[in-house]
Structure 1
Amino acid sequence: MPTPLDRAVNQRAPFFAFVAMVAGVAAWNIWGNDIFPSQDPTGEPETWTHEECTRWLNHRNLHPSPLATTAELVERIKANSSVSRNK
């Protein structure tokens, strides 16, 4: 014979599943796909790889072209790193 505790748990299971799903979606929206953000590359941009240059530009919402060469990306990084932004 089920106890009152058994009945309460059985009735609330769909509610808790829904709450867990909503919490998961909220966490995904807050942190996005990159829960553990990668670090910006350090040092001189001339020594960075193509991937590091692309990552630096993406972190600043500068949308690098996938067809751009590393030299073009380095020029763009230098142009945007010298600009002071007032927030």
Structure 2
Amino acid sequence: MPTPLDRAINQRAPFFAFAAIVTGVAAWSIWGSDIFPSQDPSGDPETWTHEQCSTWLRNRNLHPSPLATTAELLERVKANMRAPRSS
């Protein structure tokens, strides 16, 4: 007489659920969080809008204040930009 465990093993749904989980974990480990890359503003920060400055700071977890002016955000962006590496 088959047990509930035997019936669960013989069904296809658990196998496909396990296969989907393994596939998802493999895809995440290969691509990481770059599956959907962020839309970082590019170019000279002096020409960025208020929203672009906020986006740049938010993408780096620097938590821009919603009450900050564009000049204040621009100052924070410049302070947190990396210096270019010499080769």
TM-score (norm 2): 0.57
Following TM superposition, where does structure 1 have runs of at least 4 consecutive aligned residues deviating by more than 6 angstroms?
A: none
Superposition deviation, residue 19 in structure 1: 4.4
Q: After superposition, what is the alpha-carbon deviation per residue over 1:34-79, rounded to whole angstroms, capped at 9, x for unaligned?
A: 8422232122212111221111112222111122121110011112
| d(CA) in 1 for partners of 2:82, 2:14 | 54
Partner residue, 2:7? none
1:80, 1:57 → 2: CA distance?
9
- 2:11 maps to a residue whose letter is Q
Q: Following superposition of structure 1 onto structure 2, how do residues 1-87 of structure 1 map, counting pairs within 5 Å?
A: 11-20=11-20, 24=24, 26=25, 30-31=32-33, 35-81=35-81
How many residue pairs get matched? 73
C-alpha separation between the residues in 2 aligned to 1:51 and 1:35?
Answer: 23
> Structure 1 regions of 5+ residues with no counterpart?
1-9
Root-mean-square deviation (Å): 3.0
Query: What's the TM-score, normalizing by structure 1?
Result: 0.57
Identical residues among aligned pairs (%): 73
Change (3 A) 1:60 1:83: farther
The separation in 1 between residues aligned to 2:20 and 2:61, in whole angstroms, is 32
- Gaps spanning 5+ residues in structure 2: where? 1-9
